[in-house]
C-alpha cells in the first residue's frame, strides 16, 4: 500500500503496480503555478535548465495527500530547445522522425516529496518522475525498454502509466518512472544498498576528479564523500589494453551482466544511451542516460539504464542499421571496427542542428569491453529473441498496456487517439526489423571500409 515508509524490499511496489493506472492530483496556488510556467526564467543560459527552480504544490495519490511538495520541469535538451533564452514563448517543434508530434507540447515533471519538509515518502519513495512522453507517439517505448532490461536481469527502473491532474483538470497521460537514487539502490541491493551511485560519468581520460565528485548522487555530503572507488576503476581502465583488460577489470565488472546489458541496449536501438559519444561545445566526448552503482558487497560497478524515451525506432537514428549506414545515420555501430576516429556529423534532429558523434569503438573502455564480451553475445541475443524479445512476448505486453491506457489516451487533450493507435501498430510491425538488426549486429565483427 501507499504509506509514509515501507520495508526496503517493498519500496515502490504499489506505485509501480503495473496492473492499474493511478491518478496523480497536483494542486498549485495561482502564484506558484505562475512561477512554474514562467518560461522566460526557466533557463540559466541558452543550453542549461534551471534545475533548482522548484515550486510548491500539494499532491494526492489514492488516499494519501501531501500538503507541500516540490515540483519542477524535468529534462535538459527536451526543455531548453523549446525556447529562445529569455523568451517566454514556447516553440512548436513538429518532427517527422518522432511521428509528426510536437515535442514541445508537454514537459516532464519531477516531484520532490522532501523539498519542503523532511522524511516524506510515497510508498517509500522520495522522488517521482512524471515523463510526458512527448517524443513517443506510441507512449509505450520507454515502458517496453525498461521491461526488456529487467527481463534480462539488468538492474533497471520500474515504470507505470498514470493520469495527471493539475488544479482539478485532466492534464493527460504520463509515465511514472522510478528515480535512481538511494531508495532505488536500497530496494535492489538489499544487503549492500548504501554504496556510491554515480550519474553519467564514464571511466575515460576526459573525466576529472571534480567530474566524478559532481556525478556522485549518494553519500555526497562533503564530510563523508569518497569517490576513490571510481577513481581507481577509471585509472585501471586507462592503464589497460586488449591483452590485460579482462584481468584488470575482473574486480570491477561482471562481464556476463554487461554482455546482456548491451544486447538489450542494441536490440532496442537506444541511440541516446552510453554508446552515443557526442561532441558539445567543449572538445571532449560526452555520453549520458546511465548510472553506475558500486555494489559494496562484491565490489562490482553495475551499469543502470536511464531515459529510454528515444529508443525502439527503426532504422536506428545516428547508428548503422543492418550492418550498413542508412542515409544520414552513418555512425559505426557496436560491432564495427572503425576506419578512423574522426567525428561523424549527423542532422537527425533539427532542434540541435548538426551533431558531431564519435564512432563507438573509439572509446577505450567500450573497445576493450567489446573484445571481452562480444563472442558470448550471439548466444545471448538468440536467447533474447526467442524469449523476452520474441514477437509473441512483446506483443502480449503491448496489447496489455494498450488496453490499459486506451481510455486515458482517448481523453488526453493533446493526443490524437487514431494516430496513437497507428503508432502502436507500427511499433509492433517493426519487431522483425529490430530482431534482424540485432542478429546481424551480433553475427560477427566487421571492418569499416
Please count the other Cβ atoms lying within 10 Å of the Cβ belonging to residue 405. 22
The stretch 195-203 carries a mean pLDDT of 98
DSSP code, position 342: P
Convert the pLDDT of each residue in 58-95 to its tens digit: 999 999 999 999 999 997 667 777 877 766 778 877 76
- Whether pTM > 0.85 for this model: the answer is yes
Average pLDDT of the chain to the nearest whole number: 92
- Nearest CA to 356 out of 369, 347, 368 is that of 347
Task: State the Cα–Cα distance between residues 355 and 157, nearest whole angstrom.
Answer: 28
pLDDT given at position 327: 78
pLDDT given at position 2: 40
Which three three-digit cell numbers place residue 131? 515523463
pLDDT given at position 417: 96
Q: Identify the sign of the CA torsion 85, 87, 90, 94.
A: negative
Task: State the Cα–Cα distance between residues 106 and 179, nearest whole angstrom.
Answer: 20
> CB–CB of 434/314 below 8 Å?
yes
pLDDT given at position 91: 80
The stretch 251-273 carries a mean pLDDT of 97
Task: State the Cα–Cα distance between residues 16 and 156, nearest whole angstrom.
Answer: 13
> CB–CB of 98/83 below 8 Å?
no
Please count the other Cβ atoms lying within 10 Å of the Cβ belonging to residue 74. 20
Convert the pLDDT of each residue in 132-186 to its tens digit: 999 899 999 999 999 999 999 999 999 999 999 999 999 999 999 999 999 999 9
Convert the pLDDT of each residue in 23-57 to its tens digit: 999 999 999 999 999 887 777 766 677 777 899 99
Which three three-digit cell numbers place residue 63? 488516499
Query: Phi, psi at residue 330, to the nearest 5°?
Result: -120, 15
- Give me the helix-helix angle, 228-238 and 364-386, nearest 10°: 100
Using a 10 angstrom Cβ sphere, with 0-12 exposed, 13-18 middle and 19 or more buried, the burial of residue 410 is exposed
Quick one: how many helices (H) and strands (E) in the chain? 12, 19
Q: How confident is the model at residue 3 (pLDDT cuts 50, 70, 90)?
A: very low
Of 351 and 209, which is predicted with more confidence?
209
pLDDT given at position 309: 86
Q: How confident is the model at residue 1 (pLDDT cuts 50, 70, 90)?
A: very low
pLDDT given at position 329: 79
Is pLDDT at 371 greater than 50 in this prediction?
yes
Please measure the distance between the N-terminal and C-terminal CA atoms of the chain and give it in whole angstroms. 58
Is pLDDT at 125 greater than 50 in this prediction?
yes
The stretch 365-377 carries a mean pLDDT of 98
> CB–CB of 144/133 below 8 Å?
no
Convert the pLDDT of each residue in 264-320 to its tens digit: 999 999 999 999 998 875 678 999 999 999 999 999 999 999 999 889 999 998 899
The CA distances from residue 172 to 9, 27, 159, 193, in Å, are 31, 15, 16, 35
Question: Residue 214, Cα to own-chain centre: how many angstroms?
Answer: 19
Task: State the Cα–Cα distance between residues 288 and 275, nearest whole angstrom.
Answer: 9
pLDDT given at position 93: 75
> CB–CB of 78/42 below 8 Å?
no
Is pLDDT at 438 greater than 70 in this prediction?
yes
Convert the pLDDT of each residue in 89-114 to its tens digit: 788 777 666 677 788 889 999 999 99
Amino acid at each position: 500500500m501507499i504509506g509514509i515508509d515501507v520495508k526496503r524490499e517493498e519500496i515502490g511496489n504499489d506505485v509501480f503496480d503495473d496492473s492499474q493506472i493511478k491518478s496523480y492530483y497536483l494542486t498549485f496556488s495561482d502564484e506558484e503555478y505562475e512561477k512554474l510556467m514562467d518560461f522566460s526564467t526557466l533557463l540559466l543560459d541558452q543550453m542549461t535548465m534551471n534545475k533548482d527552480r522548484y515550486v510548491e504544490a500539494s499532491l494526492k495519490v489514492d488516499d494519501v495527500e501531501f500538503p507541500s511538495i516540490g515540483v519542477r520541469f524535468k529534462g535538459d535538451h527536451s526543455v531548453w530547445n523549446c525556447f529562445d533564452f529569455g523568451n517566454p514563448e514556447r516553440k512548436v517543434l513538429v518532427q517527422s522522425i518522432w511521428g509528426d508530434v510536437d515535442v514541445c507540447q508537454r514537459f516532464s515533471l519531477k516531484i520532490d516529496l522532501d523539498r519542503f519538509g523532511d522524511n516524506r515518502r510515497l510508498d517509500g519513495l522520495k522522488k517521482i518522475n512524471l515523463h510526458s512522453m512527448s517524443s513517443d507517439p506510441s507512449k509505450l517505448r520507454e515502458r517496453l525498454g525498461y521491461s526488456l532490461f529487467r527481463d534480462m536481469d539488468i538492474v533497471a527502473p520500474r515504470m507505470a502509466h498514470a493520469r495527471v491532474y493539475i488544479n482539478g483538470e485532466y492534464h493527460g497521460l504520463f509515465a511514472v518512472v522510478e528515480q535512481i537514487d538511494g531508495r532505488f539502490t536500497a530496494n535492489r541491493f538489499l544487503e549492500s544498498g548504501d554504496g556510491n551511485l554515480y550519474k553519467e560519468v564514464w571511466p575515460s581520460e576526459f573525466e576529472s576528479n571534480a567530474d566524478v565528485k559532481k556525478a556522485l548522487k549518494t553519500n555526497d555530503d562533503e564530510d563523508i564523500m569518497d569517490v576513490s572507488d571510481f577513481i581507481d576503476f577509471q585509472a585501471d581502465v586507462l592503464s589497460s589494453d586488449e591483452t590485460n583488460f579482462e584481468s584488470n577489470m575482473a574486480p570491477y565488472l561482471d562481464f556476463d551482466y554487461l554482455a546482456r546489458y548491451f544486447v538489450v541496449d542494441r536490440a532496442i536501438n537506444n541511440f541516446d544511451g552510453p554508446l552515443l559519444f557526442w561532441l558539445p561545445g567543449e572538445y571532449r566526448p560526452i555520453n549520458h542516460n546511465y548510472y553506475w552503482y558500486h555494489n559494496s558487497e562484491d565490489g562490482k560497478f553495475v551499469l543502470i539504464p536511464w531515459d529510454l524515451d528515444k529508443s525502439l525506432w527503426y532504422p536506428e537514428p545516428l547508428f548503422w542499421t543492418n550492418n550498413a549506414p542508412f542515409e544520414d545515420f552513418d555512425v559505426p555501430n557496436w560491432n564495427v571496427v572503425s576506419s578512423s576516429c574522426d567525428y561523424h556529423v549527423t542532422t537527425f534532429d533539427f532542434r540541435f542542428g548538426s551533431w558531431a558523434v564519435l564512432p563507438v569503438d573509439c572509446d577505450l573502455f567500450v573497445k576493450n569491453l567489446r573484445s571481452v564480451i562480444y563472442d558470448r553475445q550471439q548466444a545471448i541475443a538468440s536467447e533474447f529473441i526467442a524469449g523476452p524479445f520474441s514477437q509473441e512476448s512483446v506483443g502480449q505486453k503491448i496489447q496489455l498496456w494498450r488496453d490499459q491506457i486506451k481510455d486515458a489516451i482517448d481523453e488526453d487533450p493533446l493526443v490524437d487517439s487514431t494516430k496513437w493507435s497507428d503508432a502502436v501498430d507500427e511499433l509492433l510491425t517493426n519487431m522483425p526489423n529490430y530482431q534482424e538488426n540485432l542478429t546481424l549486429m551480433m553475427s560477427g565483427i566487421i571492418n569499416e571500409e
